[in-house]
Structure 1
Amino acid sequence: MSDKLERYRSKRDADRTPEPIPSSPPSSGDGHAFVIQEHHARSLHWDLRLERDGVLVSWAVPKGLPADPGTNHLAVQTEDHPMEYLTFHGEIPQGEYGGGTMTIWDAGTYEAEKWSDREVKFVLQGKRASGRFVLFQTRGKNWMIHRMGALARDPFPQVEPMLPTERAKPPKDVPAYAFEFAWGGRRLLVPIEGGRTTAAREHPWLRGLARSFGSRTAVLDGELATLGGAEILVFYDLLYDNGHSLLDQPYTVRRAALEALELAGGHWQTAPSWPGEAGPVRQAAREQGLPGIVAKRLDSPYEPGPSKSWLFVPS
């Protein structure tokens, strides 16, 4: 009987990598374990591994498992891995095959409904990954993975930015609003899915932000502003978070979810916000040479286009 781990061993040096490298061929088994590892290698991807005949049959999925039936994701079949990989996590040294950080994203059991050389239909039973999926071969080592069944998340929003209405003075009911700086920059919505964002086509430095989200999905609203001579992306709203649309949620809920992300980097930051502080914020905007402030109603949903729930007040 051929050694199913021969290719796995040929790609690794036990003296250079902490990965498990069994010395003997695997024994046959009939377990039903699975693991999904988040792999920050040369490019971020997720490794799906299903136990089969004593090894973990593996696919690299660049965008992670599809969240809804309307989108298929590429899955590249890789070499079979040893069963010890069910619990492996750690740092594979740079320069070695698969060099980078690997963490366990989810693990559990699965039920195989069909298994052939070109199609694998299965049900995952994990904490983060669950539901019916099918892997089908398209060409060579390239497969696609499809989620079967009902929509597992809210649709990804395709919206225009919410825009403030200009007025000369702050609103009278100051406690009903949060006050932020008007940055005088260019608005930018940043969708993030599978550790990637289309906004990186124009701004390549956003790839680092997208990778930091891992498998978490999001749509961020912000503004490209020049601060201290440097271009900074200032985020002040969150429209979609981890599979759930926040468009109908009040500003206070969206703001709390945004702050929980703790976004801070060399090119981006979370904009400050001060509920009920119109006068001091407006004075600070004047002192910093900013065009004004934006008053945002605490109970307002996100309304694409011009809205009277957001008020721009010149400084």
Structure 2
Amino acid sequence: MSLNKYNQKRNFNSTAEPEGEIKKSSTELIFVVQKHAASHLHYDFRLELDGVLKSWAIPKGPSMNPADKRLAIMVEDHPYDYKDFEGTIPEGNYGAGNVIVWDNGTYALADTDDVEDIENKLKSDLQEGHLGFILNGKKLKGEFALVKLKIKQKNAWLLIKKKDQYASDDDVLQQDKSVISNVTLESLEK
């Protein structure tokens, strides 16, 4: 895993974003969803894998409704320390705009709790273009899948909620406060 692309896109003298270093959780794998008001509002969905955060930009945000298939564009890996990043990325910088941690928690696979087994399976699944996992977040819970689309745009995926006890028609995006600071993106902008 490389953070070269992440580091090349940022000027750390003018942004508070963390510099790219490979790190890992000590026990369970983490996920984070950041609400990001850049040139377009979107949600950044990140899964810890192999010392980095694999990242997808989701324009419409995640959904708890299995009928919703949300476009997820895979972007560059982010460093593990990005999991707590909230604040303003100044104008003139890549991704300029405000960011909050909309959701976070841990994730696993249905058939194993061993982190090394999970990572090996997910690396293989990532290559095949189909990842299935269980989220244990404050807002997102239950089984989800990321499925790579077979179209010209090679980094296009879908984030899909699976039918389980947590599936719901309720709009989870209405829960709009940060799980770290309890602020909304709109109040951060002010």
- What TM-score do you get using the length of structure 2 for normalisation? 0.75
Give yes or no for the alignment of 1:85 onto 2:82.
yes
Shift of 1:95: 2.2
Shift of 1:27: 5.0
Decide whether the 8 Å contact of 1:31 with 1:52 is kept in 2: no
Shift of 1:66: 2.1
- Residue 148 of structure 1 corresponds to 162
C-alpha distance in 2, partners of 1:62/1:98? 14
Amino acid at match of 2:59: P
Give yes or no for the alignment of 1:134 onto 2:130.
no
**Quick check: which has more Rg, 1 or 2?**
1
C-alpha distance in 1, partners of 2:155/2:169? 32
Larger relative strand fraction: 1
Moved over 4 A (4+): 27-31
Shift of 1:71: 1.6
SS of structure 2 residue aligned to 1:78: strand
Q: Which runs of 5+ in 2 are unaligned?
A: 111-120, 176-190
- Residue 96 of structure 1 corresponds to 93
Q: Which of 208, 216, 219 is 2:174 aligned to?
A: 216
RMSD across aligned C-alpha pairs, in angstroms?
2.2
Shift of 1:99: 0.6
Decide whether the 8 Å contact of 1:112 with 1:120 is kept in 2: no
Shift of 1:16: 1.5
- Residue 22 of structure 2 corresponds to 26
Shift of 1:28: 6.3
Question: More relative contact order in 1 or in 2 (CA 8 Å, sep 6+)?
Answer: 2
**Aligned residues: percent identity?**
38
Shift of 1:93: 0.8
Aligned residues: 156
SS of structure 1 residue aligned to 2:76: coil
Q: Which runs of 5+ in 1 are unaligned?
A: 156-192, 195-214, 218-315
Give yes or no for the alignment of 1:36 onto 2:51.
no
Shift of 1:141: 0.6
C-alpha distance in 2, partners of 1:71/1:80? 25
C-alpha distance in 2, partners of 1:100/1:154? 30
Give yes or no for the alignment of 1:121 onto 2:136.
no
Aligned runs of 1:173-212 on 2, under 5 Å? none
Decide whether the 8 Å contact of 1:31 with 1:51 is kept in 2: no
Shift of 1:31: 4.3
Aligned runs of 1:1-315 on 2, under 5 Å? 4-22=2-20, 26=22, 31-112=28-109, 115=122, 116=125, 117=127, 118-138=129-149, 139=151, 140-150=154-164, 152-154=167-169, 215-216=173-174
Decide whether the 8 Å contact of 2:3 with 2:77 is kept in 1: yes
Deviations 1:155-183 (A, max 9, x none): 7xxxxxxxxxxxxxxxxxxxxxxxxxxxx
Q: 1:16 to 1:107 in 2, by over 3 A?
A: same
- What TM-score do you get using the length of structure 1 for normalisation? 0.46
